């Protein structure tokens, strides 16, 4: 689903207009209905999948308290759908259909459903109104590309929802920023940079060509993804909802841990809260928790060997960085301000290149291609 | 409705004109449009007529249904009857005493209360009308459409109103006639029902309109109970006479106080009327609520019905960027008598401000006026003063010196005319802004067969203002069993809001040379026992572990601290925190509990549950 399409723009305008014209008591019902209609129009399979997951979520969690068995059963049903689609479009893609079989937005609403079930199980979400859960899961601004916002904040926004011109203007501003990131910085300038660079260096250095490709992938990924998040957040604000932020200057972080706290925040925080915390709560092993958390993020993108390797790549890097912190405490402190700044700058450069390399490698088909790309980057051969 | 010597009727009539087309939001989702209200008031008057209710007759209203209490109260005022609003959660024995003392012409009560007080229905001469929805037996559309048939002369209020025409004729009531009786004490034989005249009520409403700038644009959030004047008169009545909106949240507690603030935000409220205990709860909320009063229309928070601690007051004003107007008043003054704000010249943190509508004196025990800065008893006089205690002339005579009302509170006045409460002369405990008279509790305790002696004291409490501690001696062979039985006895005979926080069994009460129980020694005794108690200091110990794990100072940590507010709270440090707690309290935290810790308060709750469940020790 491209947010650049005229259809999407028209949807935003019409939904926003009707939402505020309608009497307050009909607004949430209208928004849920409009979201379902829109989803059904662009991908009927996704509408069916989301409906089934929503029913399962509500049915399994509607008792006053949710037992462990019920929570596991609910998650099993939801995860079975998600993994089923991921597997038949990945490792078992005999029809060679690829992503065509993946319901639009399934990755996002699966995590929302699991979040709801687990918070009910933990007792953090009390008794609920089913129509509020419907509104939460069928919330058109975040349906297709996140952020994976959380129910308690959404339910609070339902209670606080009111017309507020400042919030509305903030929404318009964010949407404009989003389009600038996607169209100007991503689709135009980054592509221009990549084309010019690769043309110039094509006959001069294979290493530099791969390097330029790596930088372009890293930049474009950020502009596209954070731009789409800006539009989703902006659209939500047009409707009076404040959806969580998804990016916070991730390429300016000084270490890999900080990067993962500022990149796709709604996904990484989800993984930290449910995968990392779950594994640690059971095993008391942060090492295992970190690895499982990053592998889960990898598999969320695609169930494949390359994403397993990508998850391990980041997971091991975080563990190494955490270990380094204990060693670092024993090292002498840098006293010079200039040296401290230089050190910080080097840390940023190192971190961002580590991340970009990961993005470059995970684009390759398999381990052999990854190795080949790495070799070309480092040696030019 | 209007009559030349009835100021209240005039302002009620004015309110009807102003409020046309608006609504009162009662108990959250239930909305009561003014036109429905007017219709029901007119029909309700005919209902009262049918039961022979005339000016000055008392009508008991005993319901937990806010919209019906509102309608019935306004109906009584329009009709010239005297509304007697009772606590629907009062015990059966309390209700029987209060209703008997009120000698009403009609009683409106919720069906569950009628059921609970069967003995009342058998002995009471007054007509009893059940308040509530009709039994949902009449369905339309083959049971598919669940909408009830429109009631045409149902058997319960308000459905029964459908059978009545509206009475529009003005009542013959005068300013001097009584309008309202609210009981401030009395669980056994000597109830103190505060009689408020129509004139006093009208004067106080006009004063509040002016002082608080209440008009047709006002939207007032008020969660206080209707059997208290601040909930009833600063709620539906003040808004009705102003053509404004009152918004009543559901019951407010630590879990729901955030929802109340969401309501303030969503409805773009102009005023929040609350009590210090709720401000203390707000103080513990996460920063996401800081914008609750950010709308330009919001004017101020009124804190009433209890002393407001200056530190809390400053924190709330700074954090929420809102003015907090601390008010002083008693049921006897209808609403407020002293106002600290909202204007800058009357606002000084730590004081109760300056009087408005009342004259004030500070006097010593001989009735001599005190100088600036000296402590004296606060006496009040003004047209908004109550008329006396219903059917209790002795009590009335005791509190009036000529036309000055002795509040029983001690205060000082500074050179700028700001008053400050300095203590209390009367025997009263104020817990979460509810007045509790120790003698009421003591009387009930002494009716329990095994209690040989009892006393009740107030002990300072950060959240509640004061806790209610009952100390008794028992002639029971098993003191623990006797204590539990006493709790049950108290629960049966006292309203929930009067129940003591703790009952302590001792060998003997400390009596002084004059033969009276020495309350200071009782308080010491209670504090000592509390410190020895199992749960004491648990918060501090969990915070100490958090400080060690997060490499932070305990000063910067509290139960409200979260990952967002504690710099060293990362995943590793969090795990260390969990494991430290497990070591210190000698238990293994369940994965579910580990995952639900979002704040230090969550951890305190989990450890506390463990200690309670397992009888663990807090070392």
pLDDT digits (tens, 9 = 90+) for A58-90: 999 999 889 989 999 999 999 999 999 988 877
Strand-pairing partners, residue B181, are B84, B195
Q: What are phi and psi of B473, to 5 degrees?
A: -115, 140
Q: Rounded to an integer, what distance in angstroms lies between the CA atom of residue B543 and that of residue B600?
A: 7
Do residues A33 and A149 share a domain?
A: yes
How many A-B residue pairs are in contact by the CB < 8 A criterion? 50
Indicate whether A244 belongs to any domain.
Answer: no
Listing from the earlier edge strand, what are the strands of the sheet with B300-303? B30-33, B23-26, B245-247, B219-222, B271-274, B300-303, B324-328, B338-340, B354-355
Fold for domain B538-614?
1.10.1200
Counting the structural domains of chain A, the total is 3
pLDDT value of position A228: 96
Which of B263, B589, B592 comes nearest A122 by C-beta?
A: B592
Looking at the fold, whether A221 and A98 belong to one and the same domain comes out as: no
Contacts with B303 (C-beta within 8 Å, 6 or more apart), sequence order: B274, B275, B276, B279, B313, B324, B325, B326, B327
Contact between A156 and B258 using a beta-carbon 8 Å cutoff: yes
Mean pLDDT of chain A: 93
Give the residue carrying structure tokens 């069967």.
Answer: B118
**Position A216 in a domain:** yes
DSSP H/E element including B239: helix B238-242
Q: Which two tokens stand for residue B531?
A: 């410190």
Residue A336 in domain = yes
B398-401, Cβ contacts within 8 angstroms, sequence gap of 24 or more: B399/B332, B401/B367
Nearest chain B CA: its distance from A329 CA (Å): 14
In angstroms, the CA A328 to CA A342 distance is 17
List where CATH 3.40.50.980 sits in chain B.
7-248
- Which residue in the set B571, B591, B594 is minimally distant from A272, CB to CB? B571
CA distance A226 to A251: 12
- B572 close contact with A: CB closer than 8 A: yes
Q: Is residue A371 part of a domain?
A: yes
Distance from CA of A296 to the nearest CA of B (A): 17
Least CB-CB distance to B268: which of A124, A162, A278?
A162
Q: Are residues A171 and A257 in the same domain?
A: no
pLDDT tens for residues A293-343?
999 999 999 999 999 999 999 999 999 998 898 888 788 888 889 999 999
In which element (H, E) is residue B538 found?
helix B538-550
- Same domain for A369 and A265: yes
B258 interfacial to chain A (CB closer than 8 Å): yes
CA B507 vs. chain centroid, Å, equals 35
Q: How far is A28 from chain B (nearest CA, A)?
A: 15
Domain end call among A102, A135, A161: A161
- Cβ–Cβ under 8 Å, residues A68 and A121: yes
E strand or H helix that includes residue B527: helix B519-532
What is the average pLDDT across A124-143?
94
Global pTM value? 0.81
In our burial notation (b when 16+ CB lie closer than 10 A, e otherwise), range B376-399 reads bbbbbbbebbbbbbbbbeebbeeb
A100, A127, A161: which is the final residue of a domain? A161
Minimum distance, in Å, between the CA of residue B143 and any CA atom of chain A: 23
Report CA dihedral (A55, A60, A66, A69) to the nearest 10 degrees: -140
User: Per the CB < 8 Å rule, is A322 touching B266?
Assistant: no
Set of chain A residues whose Cβ sits within 8 Å of the Cβ of B266: 159-162
Q: Report how far apart, in Å, the C-alpha atoms of A205 and of each of A209, A213, A370, B466 are.
A: 6, 13, 19, 79
- Residues of chain A positioned with their CB less than 8 A from the CB of B594: 277, 280-281
Residue-level pLDDT at B119: 67
Q: What is the DSSP letter of B321?
A: T
Residue A215 counted as domain residue: yes
Q: Do A41 and A175 share a structural domain?
A: no
Stronger pLDDT, B504 or A52, i.e. the higher one: A52
Identify which of B326, B57, B17, B11 has the alpha carbon closest to the alpha carbon of residue B200. B11
Instruction: Work out the number of other CB atoms within 10 angstroms of the CB of residue A344.
Output: 12
String of b and e for A168-205 (b: at least 16 CB within 10 Å)? bebbeebbebbbebbeebbbeebeeebeebeeebeeee
Q: Is residue A172 part of a domain?
A: yes
How far is the alpha carbon of B155 from chain A, nearest alpha carbon, in Å? Answer: 31
- Can you tell me the distance from the alpha carbon of B161 to that of B109, in angstroms, rounded to the nearest whole number? 16
- Pair A254, A223 in one domain: no
Place of tokens 């996704």: A46
CATH fold label, B7-248: Rossmann fold (3.40.50)
CB within 8 Å of A190: residues ≥ 6 apart: A216, A219, A220, A223
Whether A154 and A170 map to the same domain: the answer is no
| Whether the bond into B158 is cis, omega within 30 of 0 | yes
User: Would you tell me which CATH number, out of the four given (3.30.300.30, 3.40.605.10, 3.90.380.10, 3.30.70.2190), belongs to the domain B429-532?
Assistant: 3.30.300.30
The confidence score (pLDDT) of residue B3 equals: 62
A37 and A151 belong to one structural domain: yes
User: CA-to-CA distance for B308 and B303, rounded, in angstroms?
Assistant: 7
Supply the pLDDT for residue B555: 79
Residues of A in contact with B583 (CB under 8 A): none
Question: Do B562 and B569 touch, CB atoms closer than 8 A?
Answer: yes
DSSP-assigned states of every residue in A334-359: P--HHHHHHHHHHHHHHHHHHHHHHH
DSSP string, B243-258: T-EEE--S---TTTHH
Local structure of B430: helix, strand or coil: strand
Task: Give the pLDDT score at B151.
Answer: 43
DSSP at B369 = B
Check if the beta carbon of residue A279 is closer than 8 Å to that of residue A272. Answer: no
Structural domain including A213 reads: 166-238
Tell me how far apart the alpha carbons of residues B156 and B72 are, in angstroms, rounded to a whole number.
Answer: 13
Chain A interface with B: residues with Cβ < 8 Å: 68, 118, 121-124, 156, 159-162, 257, 272-274, 276-278, 280-282, 284, 286, 289, 322
Residues A271 and A351 in one domain: yes
Q: Is residue A1 part of a domain?
A: no
Q: Residue A207 falls within a domain, yes or no?
A: yes
Residues of chain B with CATH 1.10.1200.10: 538-614
Residues A112, A75 share a domain: yes
CA-nearest of B351, B324, B334, B42 to B206 is B334
Same-domain check for residues A28 and A154: yes
Instruction: Identify the three-state secondary structure at position B517.
Output: strand
For residues A380 and A206, give the distance between their C-alpha atoms in angstroms, rounded to a whole number.
5
Q: How far apart are CA B1 and CA B14, in angstroms?
A: 10
**What are B444-502's pLDDT values in tens digits?**
898 898 888 889 998 887 777 888 899 999 888 888 888 888 988 888 888 878 888 88
Q: Which residue spans of chain B are classified as CATH 3.30.300.30? A: 429-532
Alpha helices in chain A (DSSP H): 6-21, 24-42, 44-61, 68-88, 106-122, 130-137, 151-160, 165-179, 191-201, 206-238, 256-260, 265-271, 277-283, 286-301, 305-328, 337-362, 367-379
Q: What is the pLDDT of residue A105?
A: 94
Q: Which residues of B touch A124 (CB under 8 A)?
A: 596, 598
Same domain, A115 and A226: no
Chain B residues with CB under 8 Å of A160 CB are 262, 265-266
**A377 CB contacts (<8 Å, ≥6 apart)?**
A207, A210, A211, A214, A357, A360
ipTM of the complex: 0.79
* 3 state SS for B382-427: CCCCCCEECCCHHHHHHHEECCEEEEEEEEEECCCCCEEEEEECCC
CA distance B406 to B386: 12
Would you state the structure tokens that stand for residue A25, as one six-digit string?
Answer: 């008591």
Residue A241 CA to chain centroid, in angstroms? 19
The tokens describing B196, both together, are 């408020």
B580 at the A interface (CB within 8 A)? no
Q: What is the pLDDT of residue B15?
A: 85
Regions in chain B scoring below 50 on pLDDT? 1, 136-151, 533-535, 616-619
């Amino acid at each position: 689903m491209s947010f650049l399409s005229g259809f999407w723009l028209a949807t935003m305008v019409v939904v926003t207009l009707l939402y505020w014209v309608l009497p307050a008591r009909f607004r949430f019902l209208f928004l849920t209905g409009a979201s379902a209609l829109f989803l059904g129009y662009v991908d009927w399979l996704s509408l069916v999948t989301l409906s089934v997951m929503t029913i399962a979520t509500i049915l399994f969690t509607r008792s006053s308290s949710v037992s462990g068995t019920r929570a596991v059963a609910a998650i099993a049903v939801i995860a079975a759908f998600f993994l089923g689609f991921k597997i038949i479009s990945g490792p078992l893609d005999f029809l060679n259909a690829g992503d065509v079989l993946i319901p639009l937005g399934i990755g996002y609403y699966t995590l929302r459903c699991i979040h709801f079930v687990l918070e009910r199980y933990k007792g953090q979400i009390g008794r609920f109104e089913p129509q509020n859960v419907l509104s939460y899961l069928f919330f058109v601004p975040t349906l297709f590309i996140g952020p994976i916002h959380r129910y308690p904040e959404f339910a609070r926004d339902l209670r606080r929802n009111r017309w507020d011109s400042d919030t509305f203007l903030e929404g318009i501003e964010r949407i404009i920023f989003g389009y600038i990131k996607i169209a100007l910085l991503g689709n135009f300038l980054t592509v221009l940079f990549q084309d010019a660079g690769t043309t110039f260096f094509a006959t001069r250095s294979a290493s530099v060509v791969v390097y330029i490709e790596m930088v372009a992938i890293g930049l474009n990924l950020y502009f596209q993804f954070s731009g789409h998040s800006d539009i989703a957040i902006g659209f939500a604000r047009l409707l009076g909802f404040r959806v969580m932020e998804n990016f916070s200057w991730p390429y300016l972080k000084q270490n890999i841990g900080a990067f993962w706290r500022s990149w796709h925040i709604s996904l990484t925080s989800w993984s930290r809260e449910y995968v990392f915390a779950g594994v640690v709560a059971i095993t008391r092993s942060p090492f295992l928790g970190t690895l499982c958390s990053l592998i889960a993020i990898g598999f969320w993108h695609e169930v494949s060997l390359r994403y397993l390797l990508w998850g391990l790549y980041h997971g091991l890097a975080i563990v190494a960085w955490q270990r380094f912190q204990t060693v670092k405490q024993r090292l002498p402190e840098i006293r010079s301000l200039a040296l401290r700044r230089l050190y910080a700058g080097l840390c940023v450069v190192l971190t961002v290149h580590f991340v970009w390399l990961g993005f470059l490698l995970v684009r390759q088909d398999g381990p052999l291609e990854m190795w080949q790309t790495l070799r070309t980057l480092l040696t030019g051969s | 409705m209007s009559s030349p010597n009835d100021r209240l009727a005039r302002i009620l009539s004015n309110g009807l004109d102003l409020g046309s087309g608006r609504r009162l939001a009662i108990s959250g989702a239930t909305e009561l449009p003014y036109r429905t209200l007017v219709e029901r008031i007119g029909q309700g008057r005919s209902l009262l007529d049918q039961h022979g209710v005339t000016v000055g007759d008392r009508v008991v209203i005993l319901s937990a249904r806010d919209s019906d209490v509102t309608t019935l109260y306004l109906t009584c005022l329009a009709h010239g009857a005297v509304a007697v609003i009772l606590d629907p959660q009062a015990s059966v024995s309390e209700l029987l005493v209060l209703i008997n003392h009120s000698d009403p012409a009609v009683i409106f009560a919720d069906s569950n209360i009628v059921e609970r007080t069967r003995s009342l229905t058998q002995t009471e001469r007054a007509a009893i009308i059940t308040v509530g929805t009709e039994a949902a037996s009449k369905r339309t559309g083959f049971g598919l459409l669940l909408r009830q048939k429109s009631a045409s002369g149902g058997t319960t209020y308000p459905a029964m109103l459908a059978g009545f025409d509206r009475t529009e004729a003005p009542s013959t009531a005068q300013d001097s006639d009584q309008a309202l009786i609210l009981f401030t004490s009395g669980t056994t034989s000597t109830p103190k029902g505060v009689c408020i005249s129509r004139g006093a009520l009208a004067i106080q409403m006009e004063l509040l309109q002016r002082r608080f700038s209440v008009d047709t644009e006002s939207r007032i959030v008020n969660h206080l109970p209707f059997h208290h004047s601040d909930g009833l008169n600063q709620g539906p009545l003040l808004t009705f006479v102003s053509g404004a909106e009152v918004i009543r949240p559901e019951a407010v507690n630590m879990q729901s106080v955030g929802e109340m603030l969401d309501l303030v935000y969503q409805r773009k409220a102009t005023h929040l009327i609350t009590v210090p205990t709720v401000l203390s709860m707000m103080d513990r909320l996460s920063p996401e609520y800081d914008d609750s009063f950010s709308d330009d229309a919001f004017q101020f928070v009124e804190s009433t019905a209890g002393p407001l601690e200056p530190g809390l007051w400053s924190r709330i004003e700074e954090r929420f960027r809102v003015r907090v107007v601390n008010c002083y008043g008693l049921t006897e003054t209808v609403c407020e008598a002293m106002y600290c704000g909202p204007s800058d010249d009357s606002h000084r943190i730590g004081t109760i401000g300056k009087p408005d509508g009342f004259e004030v004196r500070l006097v010593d025990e001989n009735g001599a006026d005190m100088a600036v800065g000296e402590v004296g008893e606060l006496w009040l006089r003004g047209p908004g003063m109550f008329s006396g205690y219903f059917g209790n002339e002795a009590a009335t005579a005791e509190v009036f010196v000529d036309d000055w009302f002795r509040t029983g509170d001690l205060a000082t006045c500074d050179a700028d005319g700001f008053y400050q409460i300095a203590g209390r002369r009367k025997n009263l405990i104020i817990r979460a802004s509810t007045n509790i008279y120790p003698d009421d509790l003591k009387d009930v305790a002494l009716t329990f067969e095994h209690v040989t002696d009892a006393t009740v004291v107030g002990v300072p409490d950060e959240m509640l203002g004061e806790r209610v501690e009952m100390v008794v001696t028992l002639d029971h062979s098993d003191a623990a069993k006797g204590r539990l039985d006493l709790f049950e006895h108290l629960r049966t005979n006292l309203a929930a809001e009067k129940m003591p926080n703790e009952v302590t069994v001792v060998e003997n009460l400390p009596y002084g040379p004059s033969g009276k129980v020495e309350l200071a020694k009782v308080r010491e005794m209670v504090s000592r026992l509390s410190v020895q108690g199992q749960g004491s200091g648990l918060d501090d110990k969990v915070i100490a572990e958090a400080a060690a794990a997060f490499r932070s100072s305990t000063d910067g940590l509290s139960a409200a601290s979260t990952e967002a507010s504690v710099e060293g709270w990362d995943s590793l440090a969090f795990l260390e925190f969990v494991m430290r707690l497990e070591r210190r309290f000698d238990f293994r935290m369940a994965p579910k509990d580990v995952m639900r810790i979002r704040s230090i308060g969550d951890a305190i709750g989990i450890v506390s549950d463990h200690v309670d469940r397992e009888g663990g020790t807090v070392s």
